[in-house]
Every structure is written in structure tokens, then in C-alpha cells.
Amino acid sequence: MRKHPTMILDEVKIKCAQCHNPRLLKQKVSNEEKVGLLLGDSSTKKTFHSMLENVTMKNGINCMVCHNIDEIHLDKAKGSGGMKSVKFGPQGTMFGPQGTMFGPFADAVSPYHKTEQRSHFVGDTPTLCFVCHYSQKNDHGLEVYATGKEYDKFKVEEEGCKNCHMSERFKGVASNYAPAGGDPKERMVRKHRFASVDNSNILNDYVDVKGRSQGDKFVLTVTNHAPHKISTGYGLREIILKVTFLDKNDKELARKRYVLGKKWTDEEGKPTIPHLAKKLVKDTSMAGKSTNAYKFPIPQGAVYATYSFSYRLVSEGLAKEMGITDPFFLREYTFSEMRVHL
Ligand code: HEC
Ligand code: HEC
Ligand code: HEC
Ligand code: HEC
């Protein structure tokens, strides 16, 4: 078989997909990067790519970048080193039949590649995810990303990341390929969906929001079941709690909001994106595994309240400041809305 040192991502995925049901992959640029690219910001590009210093990573995450990881040596004090903190398996043969795929099984046999079990694929440990999702500083030495660090601080048990971001284990097959005359082996597998607010119901599934009146206040009680902050990840996203008070004729009396998110500023104190920031000036994100009560005064004459939970990819203020006009970034995505009698 010919070697394919320049085989492009899509080809790799198709190769793998011949025997492994489509498991991934949306090719996606992070929102942060979209903003950076939108603004023609080369330092965003640089930071992003240096984190993923690997030719196979240029267009997102493909199969090899995880399944060819042999050893992980993450120095938590230094943060996620991306490709610097891993040792890959046999490199030049990645695309050939003699390449090794590391995975969760001790007894997997494939006609196409070697297989070996590695502990970072077994069970619930977050070790593999930490390679890229532990923490990262920008060029000014400011920490702009700390999902794994947050997990270390807030977790109540070693639940890892996979149950929420991939799926619980279910009965299936690791490969639809079967040796002649046989059936594919039944295995406990997971989905490869890397769920986010953009492509799943993850906020509704793991964040509870309940509203009720208490004296002259309307109280929104929010419980974050995630072991990391919300919002987490690259700090541009805002999660927005909104309350509207209505009179007996449904006329709006008042509208209040509270934002869970971060505000970053540059040298001149102007709002900017995390990668270019000198300072984190505000952090209203919620701790992992925590419950907060947010109180809003009920105006005179209010009979009903509606409350909603929504998010924005980029804060309204920052979007304005940076002159972003693309509706994709300006939209507010609502995923739960309730109405109650006060
Ligand atoms: C971000 C890292 C990551 C990427 C990218 C990735 N995987 Fe996985 N994969 C995992 C993890 C973690 C497991 C172990 C899941 C578990 O706990 O059972 C796994 C398990 C598997 C397994 C065996 C068990 C199962 O759940 O199916 C196969 C086969 C597999 N992956 C194939 C692929 C293919 C093919 C691709 C590309 C389309 C891919 N993976 C991309 C992380 C990844
Ligand atoms: C010709 C079919 C075929 C192709 C092509 C193929 N695989 Fe596999 N793969 C298998 C079979 C069969 C197994 C073993 C399944 C089992 O034992 O349940 C397997 C197992 C795996 C495992 C689990 C290893 C372990 O020890 O846990 C991973 C991960 C994996 N493959 C990834 C990939 C990736 C990534 C690609 C593309 C580069 C790929 N495979 C291409 C057939 C194939
Ligand atoms: C090799 C580096 C790498 C590893 C390992 C890795 N990720 Fe990621 N992950 C990324 C990058 C880069 C992005 C952002 C780009 C994107 O959205 O495709 C991302 C995005 C995500 C997102 C958000 C998806 C979105 O739509 O923005 C989630 C959730 C996630 N990863 C979870 C995980 C989990 C859970 C693991 C461990 C099983 C893991 N990742 C392992 C690099 C990695
Ligand atoms: C109990 C479920 C749960 C567990 C466990 C969990 N998360 Fe999350 N995660 C969430 C929820 C809910 C969100 C959405 C809130 C947000 O985007 O801030 C999220 C968001 C994220 C995002 C941002 C996605 C985006 O859209 O940009 C990343 C990255 C991420 N998690 C990584 C991890 C990693 C790494 C681990 C393990 C160390 C982990 N998560 C464990 C529930 C979970």
C-alpha cells in the first residue's frame, strides 16, 4: 500500500469511516477563531495553531490526533501543551496498514491497523481531554482558558468529561467490519459528538433554572451540574438570564437581565477578545457544581413573569465595539423560556 503523507483530513475520515460508522466530525472553527478571522487577526491564528502544532490538525480535529496518542505527559503547571505534551505512536505509518490505533480495548483486532489499549481511553478519566482542554495563557501571560483547571477545583468525584460530552456507554460495535463469516463484536461504545451549546441540548441537560417569587423579589435559582464553570472554554460566550414582568393585561412592565460571562480589556482598557487581552476585568461565570440565586425586584402591578435562559457567542457590547455585523455572532440563542403567575 502506498503511503499518504499528504492525505487530507476528509480522506482520513473516509478511510476510517469505511469500517467505523460515522463517528465524527463536524469540521468546525471555534467561535473565538471565527471572530479572530473575521477581524483578520493573525495572532489569533497563530495562538490557535501553535496549540495544535500538527499538520493533521489544521482543519479541526480528526481521528488520528486522539487515536495515535501513545503517551501523555501533561505538566499542569504549564497548562495544556497540545501536541507538546503527547508522544504519538508510529508516525510515518499513520496512514498505512501498519499504523497503530490506540483505544479503550485490550482485545481489538483490525485488518487495517494495529490496535493497542491505552489507559487514557479507558474509563472516565479526563487525561486525554486535558491534553488540549486544561488551561492556556495568551501572549501576555494572561490565562484565557482553564476548563480542566476548573474541573480539578470543583469536581466532587472523578466523573471525567465523556458522559456529558460524548455519551454514556451503550451497547454497539466499535467497527462494522467483521471477519469473513462472523459478526462484528458487540462492545460498550460511546458517541463521538463532543457536545457543545451549539450542537446539543447540553445546557438544558446539565443546568437547571427555576424561577419563583419570594416576597418582593423574583428569584432565579440556577444549578450548574457541570464540574467546570459556566460559561467555560474560550471566554467570549455569554449565558444570559432574563426576566420580564407583565401586568394583568400582559403589558410589559420591566425587563431585567443578568449575564454569566467574562469581560476582557486590552492595553488601553478597551474591550477585546481573550487572545489579545491584557486584563480580565469581570468574571460573572458560575462555579462548577454550584447553585446560585439571582434576585430581581418585582415592580408594582406585576402579575406574571417570564424567565429565559439564552446565550450569545459574543457579548452585545463587544460586538458593537469591534464592529461585528455578521448576524451569526449577533444573534441571541434562547433555549428555555418559562412563564409563571406571581
Ligand atoms: C477528541 C478525541 C477523539 C477523536 C478526535 C476521536 N476519538 Fe475515537 N475515542 C475517543 C475516546 C476518549 C474513546 C474512548 C471512549 C470510551 O470511554 O469508551 C474513543 C473510542 C473510539 C473507538 C472504540 C470505542 C467506541 O466508543 O467506538 C473507536 C473505534 C473510535 N474511537 C474511532 C474513532 C474514529 C474513526 C474517529 C474519527 C472519525 C475518532 N475516533 C475520533 C476520543 C476521540
Ligand atoms: C478495514 C477496516 C478498518 C479500517 C479502514 C479502520 N479500522 Fe479501526 N478497527 C477495525 C476493527 C475490525 C477494529 C476492532 C473492532 C473490535 O475489536 O471490536 C478496529 C478498532 C479500532 C479502534 C479501537 C482500538 C482499541 O484497541 O481499543 C480504534 C481507536 C480504531 N479502530 C480507529 C481507527 C481509525 C482512526 C481509522 C482510520 C485511520 C481506522 N480505525 C480504520 C477496522 C478498521
Ligand atoms: C488534540 C486536542 C484535543 C483533544 C485531545 C480534545 N479536544 Fe476538545 N477541542 C479541541 C479543539 C481545538 C476544539 C475547538 C475546535 C472545534 O470546535 O472543533 C475542541 C472543542 C471541544 C468542545 C466544544 C465543541 C464546539 O462545538 O465548540 C468540547 C465540548 C470538547 N472539545 C470536549 C472534549 C473532550 C470531552 C475531550 C476528551 C475526550 C476532548 N475535547 C479532547 C481540541 C481537543
Ligand atoms: C455534568 C456534565 C458535564 C461534564 C462532566 C463536563 N462538562 Fe463540559 N460542559 C457542560 C455544559 C452544560 C456546558 C455548556 C456551558 C458552557 O458552554 O459554558 C459545557 C461546556 C464545555 C465546553 C465549552 C463548549 C463550547 O461550546 O465552547 C468545553 C470545552 C467543555 N465543556 C469541556 C469539558 C471538559 C474538558 C470536561 C472534563 C474535564 C467537561 N467539559 C466535563 C457539561 C459538562
pLDDT tens digit string along 246-291? 999 999 999 999 999 999 999 999 888 888 899 999 999 999 999 9
Domain-wise residue ranges, the chain: 9-21+28-143, 206-341
Determine if ligand 1 sits within 6 Å of the CB of residue 103.
yes
- Written as nine digits, the cell of 161 is 468529561
Which pTM value belongs to this model? 0.89
How many residues belong to the chain?
342
Q: How confident is the model at residue 19, as a pLDDT?
A: 75
Which atom, in ligand 3's list, is nearest to the CA of 164?
35
Q: Are 256 and 296 in contact (CB under 8 A)?
A: yes
Q: What is the pLDDT of residues 184-231, one digit of tens each?
A: 889 999 988 888 776 778 888 999 999 999 999 999 999 999 999 998
Ligand 1 contact via 299 beta carbon (within 6 Å): no
Cα 223 to ligand 4 centre (Å): 14
- What is the whole-number distance in angstroms between the Cα of residue 30 and the centre of ligand 3? 9
Q: Look at ligand 2, atom 9, and give the residue with the nearest C-alpha.
A: 110
- The C-alpha atoms of residue 208 and residue 277 are separated, in whole angstroms, by 32
- Cα separation, 342 vs 245, whole angstroms: 9
User: What's the average pLDDT block by block, 10 residues per block, for the chain (342 residues)?
Assistant: 42 65 50 50 44 38 80 87 77 56 93 91 94 88 92 96 94 85 87 79 90 95 97 83 96 96 91 88 96 97 94 83 77 87 94
Range 206-341: architecture per CATH: Sandwich (2.60)
Neighbour-count burial for 138-170, b at 16+ CB within 10 Å, e otherwise: beeeeebbbbbbbbbebbeeebbbbebbbeeee
Q: Which of 190, 199, 167 is nearest to 26 (CA)?
A: 199
